[in-house]
Amino acid sequence: MFLEQVLNDPICQPVAKHYKRWCILMEQNIGFWLRDSVKHTKDHCARVLLLALVIAHQIGLSDEEMEGLSMAAIFHDSRRLDDWLDKGHGKRAAGYYQDYCREHGMPFDKQTYYIMYYHDLDDTIGLAEIAKAFTVGERCTLLYQIFKDADALDRFRLAPDALDVNMLRTEEAHTLVDFAKYLLQKSSDGLSYEIYIF
Ligand SMILES: [Fe+2]
Ligand SMILES: [Fe+2]
């Protein structure tokens, strides 16, 4: 299990059960096209899953919303063709998620599909498409922002200065910057450089 060693941490504890369930599903059932990836591994998706759940818990999202974010996390980089920008990998991942739901008799969630579909594009595009597809009462915009923050918080794996914290969208993500660095240090794929937690 990815990140087993941090699940008793007080920040993780409230979401540990959710995390384990979705992490096991990813490990056992989700196929990643880019098997020799060094940047977009299942370890990366596990950290994004945990970070998204922690933010969601701190905001007070429902179990259903947490499930949507979890699905987005475990599928979102599964259909990459390269480790660079690879615009369109969000759309391919969303398609994989949709097919997976149909083939495995799992309920399909339109919000999860949209989060995944637009996660690799600029916020202005994602938010505009979400605004067109959902009514104001639906919380897809918030879920999209949480998901993109969780994905961004794992950018420290790329370089010590790979995350511009001013770009984070949610207040909760701002408070989790040191925690994101701590997660990386505890990860099995490790780091090729030293990071410092302030
Ligand atoms: Fe991605
Ligand atoms: Fe990602």
CA-based nearest residue to 22, from 61, 76, 58? 76
The number of beta carbons lying within 10 Å of the beta carbon of residue 157 is 25
Distance of alpha carbon 195 from alpha carbon 198, whole angstroms: 10
- What is the whole-number distance in angstroms between the Cα of residue 42 and the centre of ligand 2? 10
What's the pLDDT score for residue 118?
A: 98
- What is the whole-number distance in angstroms between the Cα of residue 77 and the centre of ligand 2? 6
- What is the whole-number distance in angstroms between the Cα of residue 120 and the centre of ligand 1? 5
What are the pLDDT digits (tens) for 50-81?
A: 999 999 999 999 999 999 999 999 999 999 99
Q: Where are the domains of the chain?
A: 4-186
Share of the chain above pLDDT 90, in %: 90
Neighbours of ion ligand 1 (CB under 5 A): 77, 120
- What is the whole-number distance in angstroms between the Cα of residue 47 and the centre of ligand 2? 9
Structure tokens at 86: 């690879």
pTM: 0.95
Question: How would residue 35 be classed by pLDDT, with cut points 50, 70 and 90?
Answer: very high
What are the pLDDT digits (tens) for 134-182?
A: 987 679 999 999 999 999 999 999 999 999 999 999 999 999 999 999 9
Structure tokens at 16: 């540990």
